[in-house]
Structure 1
Amino acid sequence: MKLSTSRYTFCLFFQILAMISDLFFNCMSLFPRTRDGLLVIFIFQDLFLILSITTMLMTLFSTYLFQAGLVEVLVRKFRAAGGVCAAYVVACVALHTAWLLEKWNEHDSISTPMLIFLFTVQRLLSPWYYFFSKRAALRVADPRFYEDIDWINRQLETR
């Protein structure tokens, strides 16, 4: 059960593309003048977030550890990445919802303290999301996740 090089390369390429597109949409969200433009940007950003997480999960599901039912080892190895990704998705959805609700009611509204707080939290989480997402994508390529039985036994012993 080896992860083929071409398949892993596609997964890594897609993860990096998703991170670059997320960064692009974060930057572009500051410029739209209309609420419709903002809505389109947020839809695409959330779509790329979901696709990025789905790609990472599919890669994790293809490991020998997952297929053998040793999910606990995978959870231990990728817990930080999963937590940061989940927090970033929640922060993005909360920011997008609050921003759109504010813009939908009043086109030229001034930002509320809650919107500024959500914006700051989302922007502070984004570098952590990029780091942990890239790190997880690179770590899942480790051949031990696909074939090294001795390594898996040592991981199970260190519970």
Structure 2
Amino acid sequence: MKLSTPKYTICIIIQFIFMFCDLIFNCVSLFPRTKDALLVLFIFQDLFLVLSITAMLMTFFSTYLFQAGLVEVLVRKFRAAGAVCAAYAAASVLLHAVWLQQQWHEPGSASRPAVIFLFLVQRCLSPWYYFFYKRAALRVSDPRFYEDIEWISHQLQQH
């Protein structure tokens, strides 16, 4: 798959940086001992998560398909990536909220079952998020999404 312009290469690099930052934040989230450090870490992780999803949406909005009103083709092609990204974002924010609430009300106590469950769900979703996000970022950079060609009519006829 060849990228048609350097603009898409820069966008992919930015998306991968956001994804890598999320991975780093997931790795170091176990180490902060103070609730303030944990709060700052979670704020930055959620910020990078929102930025990465925003960058992905911006690439979708810049496609010819979206601009021509053929959103259903984009939705069909990227439905799994969207579902996994939404689930991971929800699991991350929910985990951060519950974890911080526990740290504020019961500092130094053992984790409650809800925190452990949300931690496991978020950590199990993270490889799927990284896989689908990277795959969607690479697929949306395909030049066919940015040109008015016969491929689009073929995609519309498949549905």
Runs of 4+ with >3 A deviation: none
Deviation at 1:4, TM superposition (A): 5.6
Q: Which amino acid aligns with 1:60?
A: F
Runs of 5+ consecutive residues of structure 1 not aligned to the other structure: none
Number of residue pairs aligned between Structure 1 and Structure 2: 157
| Alpha-carbon shift at residue 146 of structure 1 (Å) | 1.1
**How many Å separate the matches in 2 of 1:4 and 1:51?**
24
CA apart distance, 1:66: 0.3
Match of 2:147 in 1: 147
Per-residue CA deviation, residues 116-149 of structure 1 (Å, 9 max, x unaligned), is 0000000000000000000000001111111142
Aligned equivalent of 2:19 = 19
One-letter code of the match for 2:95?
A: L
Report the Cα distance in structure 1 between the residues aligned to 2:5 and 2:40, rounded to whole angstroms. Answer: 35
CA shift digits 1:99-118 (9 cap, x unpaired): 00000012111101111000
**Could you say what secondary structure the match of 2:8 adopts?**
helix
Q: Which residue in the other structure is 2:76 paired with?
A: 76
Of 146-155 and 60-69, deviating more is 146-155
Shift of 1:5: 2.0
- Counterparts of 1:120-159 in structure 2 under 5 Å? 120-159=120-159
| Aligned residue in 2 for 1:119 | 119
What is aligned with 1:7? 7
For residues 16-36 of structure 1, the C-alpha deviation after alignment (integer angstroms, 9 at most, x for no partner) is 111111011011110001000
Structure 2 partner of 1:95: 95
TM-score, L = length of structure 1 = 0.96
Percent identity between the two aligned chains: 71
Partner of residue 31, structure 2: 31
Q: Distance in 2 between matches of 1:20 and 1:143?
A: 25
User: Over the residues paired in the alignment, what is the CA RMSD in angstroms?
Assistant: 1.0
